[in-house]
Amino acid sequence: MRVLIDKYIPFLQGIVDRFAEVLYLEPEDFTSAVVHDSDALIIRTRTTCNAALLAGSRVQFIATATIGTDHIDLNYCRTHNISVVSCPGCNAKAVCEYVMEAVREIDYSRPISLGIVGAGHVGGKLAKMAMDNNFHVVINDPPRHLNGDVTACDIITFHTPLTHDGDHPTYHLCDAKFLSCCKPGALIINAARGGVVDEHALLASGHPFIIDTWEDEPNINPEVLNRSLLASMHIAGYSILGKRNASQMSLDALCKHFALPALSLADEQLPQGDNAPGWLRRISDQLKAAPGQFEQLRKNYKLR
């Protein structure tokens, strides 16, 4: 068995090697030629899995150590008997902490109403965290029959997957029409997926905003970056606990699929990042000073 693993997924090194030939690759090294003779992939959002990558290969299993799957052509995988698993909820706590840090940095001096779009693993946990901190919380999640009017809130934060079809597509959910209905001056936070927010509409709206996930990553819009109150390089969910959860969930799914013995992660010690007060502003300053290094900054981000 041959397994390809993104080298930036921590804790997995040396584990699967007991049962398979394993290559640890840069995201850009997942090419059709390399994938062709492989049975399984463990990836992040930086690897697009579609026909161009997978056609003619013997891949039968893909684990993405992330919440979302919008970088994977699920229809192609389904019709070609490729099992796909993700890691929902793995980094929910870290994303909630990111949003709360963002709000603290803005330093509101009055009671705050927080509108949460998406009440899944992250949104549900964030709602509790915010209420524990005396926020007034409004939740909107039509698939879960939660239809609170978030447009009247001081802050609106998005925590949905990126979908293009179905009854409730989320692509450009935050568009010009949505923004025109929002309370004047409402702060928009996107720590979900880049395409959930229409960045051109956001710029035109005049609303202040904080961005962690971007359209066209890693080629981010410089005007969006410059006008953001705070910005980061898609690291809202980057914590040691979140990464460890995702790695173990990916490993568990791999073992189940290939009927391997249960495997535990390596006891790898990672350097702890800067999580002292003001950490998000420091990250933002770093990105704004070197926007062309978005991907490198993300790869080398020390987990908080």
CA–CA dist 287, 265 (Å, integer) = 32
Q: Is 97 a catalytic residue?
A: no
> Do the beta carbons of residue 59 and residue 38 sit within 8 Å?
yes
> Do the beta carbons of residue 68 and residue 196 sit within 8 Å?
no
Q: Which helix (H) or strand (E) holds 174?
A: none
Residues whose CB is less than 8 angstroms from the CB of residue 96 and which lie 6 or more positions away in sequence, other chains included: 122, 125, 126, 129
Closest CA to 213 of 302, 228, 152, 204: 228
Closest CA to 195 of 171, 178, 211, 228: 171
Edge-to-edge strands, sheet with 146-147: 146-147, 136-141, 113-117, 155-158, 187-190, 209-211, 230-231
> Do the beta carbons of residue 222 and residue 278 sit within 8 Å?
no
Omega within 30 of 0 (cis) for the link into 142: no
Instruction: Provide the 10 A C-beta neighbour count for residue 136.
Output: 13
CA–CA dist 68, 79 (Å, integer) = 20
Catalytic position from the list 234, 244, 298, 304: 234
Q: Is 71 a catalytic residue?
A: no
Catalytic position from the list 2, 217, 227, 295: 217
Q: Is 281 a catalytic residue?
A: no
Catalytic position from the list 46, 121, 159, 193: 193
Catalytic residues: 193, 217, 234
